[in-house]
Chains A and B, each alone.
Chain A
Amino acid sequence: MKKIHFSEIEGRSSGYLVLLGILGAIVLVSLGSAFYMEHNGHHVTGMNNQIAWGIPHVFAVFLIVAASGALNVASISSVFNKTAYKPLAPMSALLSIALLAGGLMILVLDLGRPDRLIVAMTIYNFKSIFAWNMILYNGFFAIVIVYIWMLMDRRMEKYKKPVGFAAFIWRLTLTTGTGSIFGFIVARQALDAAIMAPMFIVMSFSFGLAIFLLVMMAACSWSNRPFGDALFGRLKNLLGVFVAGVLYFVIAYHLTNLYAAEHHGVEKFILSDGGIYTQMFWIGQIILGSLVPLALFYHPSWGKSRALVGLGAVLVILGGLAQMYVIIIGSQAYPLVLFPGKVVESSFSDGIVNTYNPTFAEFGLGLGGFAVALIIVALAVKILRFMPVSLADADVDPHHK
């Protein structure tokens, strides 16, 4: 195998500047949306006392989950010694912290009092999963930045594996923490399931790799660097396995709920009577987000088309957002069960399906998270040597013929 070379991208083309311009504009819209929300209060959003977490949380949690998953490729190279993934490791680590930064930006700017972030950073209630997550997120930045240093500095070669292993353990813990936010809520019929933590880990594998694959396709194509078919095929097949893995957990989650009579109501709501939530589940998450990508990845001829595999990865991302919508908003839309088996009515929406009409500001803030993540990647690859000069199969795989 040849020695792997990395280099900065030139970053002077008009295309690069247009990309930065578009992403910058989205970030400005996002910051404007956040200012609008914070200045007026959350009454300008569709969120209310029944649906307290809305579109910003869908985007934020998706990005945070994807962030830990994006690190997977680096972990496969450092922890599991897969040589072919080594040239991808720095980009994988870079994308992971970029996605986390984007997700956290949304989460923080959606707070009722974002000016009190310092309070959240200094006063911890250690029984709160949120408080653990603040430590896990900050630790993730620290560990992955050190990991990137080990990956990019040849003098640090010997530390690469232990630091990579630490980052791998940390990312599994982080996604466990994120999943547990939705796993330990006894009040909500859809959210009191410990399976959320492992399901979120597999979701992170899938969403993170889908974004990573698209970013690498774009980066290689726009900087005229080869991306070998064999390596591309490996990543594509791995993504397919992860998509199937998510499906497995989704099936297990719903079957478990269907078995318990107390959860029949919420299952009926999500699976058949929930309107937008049912559509998001079946059309968004299952058909477009899982089955179609699986067909595109594993079909003998479609799977060889970069465009169709890219489309599959885009669908995995959209399906992931749909899944987050169902988990986060669907779980709140379904009425709380105060008196099981009885009809409950009040002035505070008891006993009825809660309505939620998100506003432009919420989408603006959410999309800004993606833009921030991609701008970080675009700038970083111009400043430092993250991008491998070649991902041609002969250059990355010692066994390639």
Chain B
Amino acid sequence: MKKNESYTDQARRQFISKVVAGAGLAVAPGVVLHQVAQAKPADQPASNKVRWGILINTNKCATGCTDCVSACQEEHAWGAASENEAHSSKLQKAQWIRKVKVTDKQTGYVMSLPMMCQHCKNPPCVDVCPTGASMKRADGIVLVDRHICIGCRYCMLACPYKARSFIHEELHDQSVNAPRGMGTVEACNMCVKRVDNDGIPACVEACNQAEHNAMLFGDLKDPNSDISIELKQHGGEQIREDLGLDTGVRYQGI
């Protein structure tokens, strides 16, 4: 009898757990899908109805602050946030974003600003790439397809902002956010994974968290976006505007 009872209990437990699991399976996708309903579905291409950009106010950018650089390093596992590139010299180590100090020779005025891929509308890196590994998405984000990059480094010569780095040795324990590989070229990808999930780039987030608020991310094509309104009210310039590249990263105070 006791034996029968335990069988009954087991069967009941199994039944209940299957029902719960089934219900869970039925409900879970709805919950997950609801969470990402705002983001761009993975099977849909980037849209040219938006153009992502970043506006940087150099007057708010604190000299000596490198929060944006650290955040990028954490997000994409390079530099101080990674034990990789131990064999590479200082000149060989990758830098996706760097702080640049600019001093006016005549007045002595000093400004500080982050420099990274400027996500040009007419990117020279994309023009020169023989295989098309350097590419621009429809939403303006410039990327390197690490699957077809042959490591010729022509894009590094062509970029007026020195935004690109070559990987000089094998890498291990990479971030899932940014697959990287020896022998290929890489650069700031405007945290495309975050952007596709309705987030903002790590550098912008870090700048906001530090309450500097020097970086503003948004859609340059949307006249009602914060970035467009700010650009319309106070303007914004491009670095090396004379080259006619129409950059997605704009600066105030330069």
Contact = CB atoms under 8 A, between A and B. Distances in A.
Greatest chain B CB density within 10 A among A41, A127, A350 is at A41
A4 to B, nearest CB: 42
B166 A49 contact: yes
Interface residues of A, number: 52
Interface stretch (A25-33, A141-149, A182-190, A388-396): A182-190
Given A41-B183, A129-B128, A134-B130, A52 B157 contact: yes
B131 A48 contact: no
Interface in A99-158: 111-114, 116-117, 119-120, 123-125, 127-131, 134
Given A43-B87, A338-B115, A125 B129 contact: yes
Interface in A337-395: 337-339, 341-350, 354-355
Given A43-B88, A342-B104, A128 B150 contact: no
Interface stretch (B23-31, B34-42, B46-54, B92-100): B92-100
A362 to B, nearest CB: 13
B19 interface: no
Contacts of B159: 187
B62 interface: no
B160 A117 contact: no
| Chain A binding surface SS class | loop
Contacts of B127: 127-128
A338 B128 contact: no
Interface in B129-188: 129-132, 148-154, 156-162, 164-170, 182-185
A112 B156 CA distance: 13
Given A42-B166, A185-B157, A344 B102 contact: yes
Contacts of A113: 149-151, 183-184
Given A112-B152, A112-B183, A117-B150, A342 B102 contact: yes
Contacts of A47: 92
A49 B162 CA distance: 8
Contacts of B170: 41
Interface of B: 87-89, 91-95, 98-105, 115, 124, 126-132, 148-154, 156-162, 164-170, 182-185, 239-240, 243, 254
9 contacts: A49-B95, A116-B148, A123-B132, A124-B132, A131-B131, A187-B158, A344-B102, A345-B100, A350-B115
Given A42-B169, A185-B157, 7 more contacts: A41-B87, A43-B168, A52-B153, A112-B166, A116-B150, A181-B154, A338-B100
Interface of A: 38, 40-43, 47-53, 111-114, 116-117, 119-120, 123-125, 127-131, 134, 181, 185-188, 191, 332, 336-339, 341-350, 354-355
